[in-house]
Amino acid sequence: MSDTQGRNGFDQSDDDPFCETSDDECSSWAPVDMRTAMAGGEILPDIGTRDDGAPMLYAGRVHVFFGSFESGKTFAALYFVAQELNRGQNVLYIDFEDSGRGIGWRLNQLGVELDVIYNRDRFAYIRPDESLRSNSAATHFDSLLEGKYSLAVIDGVTESISLENLKDSSGSDIALWQSRFPRRIARETGAATICLDHVPKDLDNRAMPTGSQHKMSGIDGVAYSFTCDQKIGKGKIGRVFMRVHKDRSGGVRGPLGSDYNAKDQSALVGLFVLDARNATNYAARIEVPSGQIGSQSSVVIAESHSNAHEKLDFCRERLTEYISKSLPDDQRSGRAIVSALQSVKFRKKTVGEQHWRNALQSLIDEHYVFTEDGPRKSKLHFKSEMFVAGCGGSDEQRGKRKVAVERARRVRQVELARAKVAEMNDLDSQ
């Protein structure tokens, strides 16, 4: 082992991106300017929303999603990735387990357009198989950190730690890895950073990720566990419980948590639902927990559930009203429609962007709205029938709307053909 290498072969040379701050830089032991430190106000979650628009992730902080194999944690992370990409933000995805092919098509199934996935400035997908002790890897990593992302995902914590010749059973190794990898990403890019990790095989020790307890101690965002209610899979609807085990700032557990478990000190904050019955168009959402939960009264829960349905119906009505207008094609994509309605308020409160998207998807699923391919691989939306709350819920009515959609598609094709003929006639007359 050379003089510049630390324990476990973890290179401590000046060229290593995992090296400590050099002596000539300002020491972290100098007093902090508290006026500057507090300038941003109270630390609150600000991205990654549930159905009700409540955010679940903190910008610039490190989070962990942990659960057993096929527990839905990767799909939940990709759901948040899709949210950010669809609202025009940039995302970094460092993958030690899957492949670009697998992750790319999952994102497309979750509603991200291919031209966004193909754009490396918007979606930076990395599939490393070499240690950051390599000069070329260190250079590329430094270059990545010059970008600005709203979200970053590290898929495969154990594999990443092993690649650096560290041990996930060692507290000091975990602390080293966290400070020099996920925390550095969060600090330098401003991204809410999600680490995807597994749980031990021991059924009595599944309240924290595999390996050292220091993984939990080093988290400055939220630690979420994922437990299946119904297994996620192609052709079915999967349901996964999301529970908070650690929330350093308290902005998630306090306002969103319920069903407190004293044994592992966790609280239920959401139900991740993935409808994968349509092979090319998955519908995902994080539902607000409903039913008799913990110490909350059934009356309060019922009122909350009723309010959520009223908000969904409100969004559906506004969406069909807007889509029925004579809009140019560049205002008919999902992104343009949601953007146009974001200032609309329900009971004096702005409706969250993801709630509009969920409502639009439900209109498509229920055949009130249909889509056709638009420019740059976008989807253009057209009304088949106006949505009216409390009406149209029977199977017979759904069947009639499905027929109406096909009729509306044919009418649309005829209109396009006529417009094309008229355009050609105009050119001939000139």
Domain boundaries, the chain: 7-22+36-289, 299-429
**What was the pLDDT predicted at 34?**
92
**What was the pLDDT predicted at 245?**
94
Buried b or exposed e, range 104-123, using 16+ CB within 10 angstroms = bebbbbbbbbeebbeeeebb
User: Structure tokens of 137?
Assistant: 């890897």
| CATH architecture of the domain formed by 299-429 | Orthogonal Bundle (1.10)
Which stretch, 199-213, 230-244, 299-313, 381-395, has highest mean pLDDT? Answer: 230-244
pLDDT tens digit sequence for 312-327: 888 888 999 999 888 8
The pLDDT-based confidence of 350 (bands split at 50, 70, 90) is: confident
**What was the pLDDT predicted at 214?**
65
pLDDT tens digit sequence for 76-119: 999 999 999 998 999 999 999 999 999 999 999 999 999 999 99
C-alpha pair distances (Å), 76 with each of 60, 135, 381: 19, 34, 26
Is the pLDDT score of 422 beyond 80? no
**What was the pLDDT predicted at 398?**
65
Query: What value does the mean pLDDT take over residues 14-32?
Result: 60
CATH superfamily of 7-22+36-289: P-loop containing nucleotide triphosphate hydrolases (3.40.50.300)
Which residue in the block uniquely carries the two structure tokens 């009595």? 204
The pLDDT > 70 percentage for the chain reads 83
Which stretch, 123-127, 210-214, 229-233, 362-366, has highest mean pLDDT? Answer: 123-127
pLDDT tens digit sequence for 210-225: 555 667 777 999 999 9
**What was the pLDDT predicted at 74?**
96
Residues whose CB falls within 8 Å of the CB of residue 107, separated by 6 or more in sequence, listed in order: 78, 81, 82, 85, 117, 123
Question: Any idea what DSSP says for residue 374?
Answer: -
Least confident of 17-31, 184-198, 381-395: 17-31
Task: Please answer whether residues 273 and 237 qualify as being in contact, where contact means their C-beta atoms are separated by less than 8 angstroms.
Answer: yes
Could you tell me which residue, 25 or 155, shows the higher pLDDT? 155
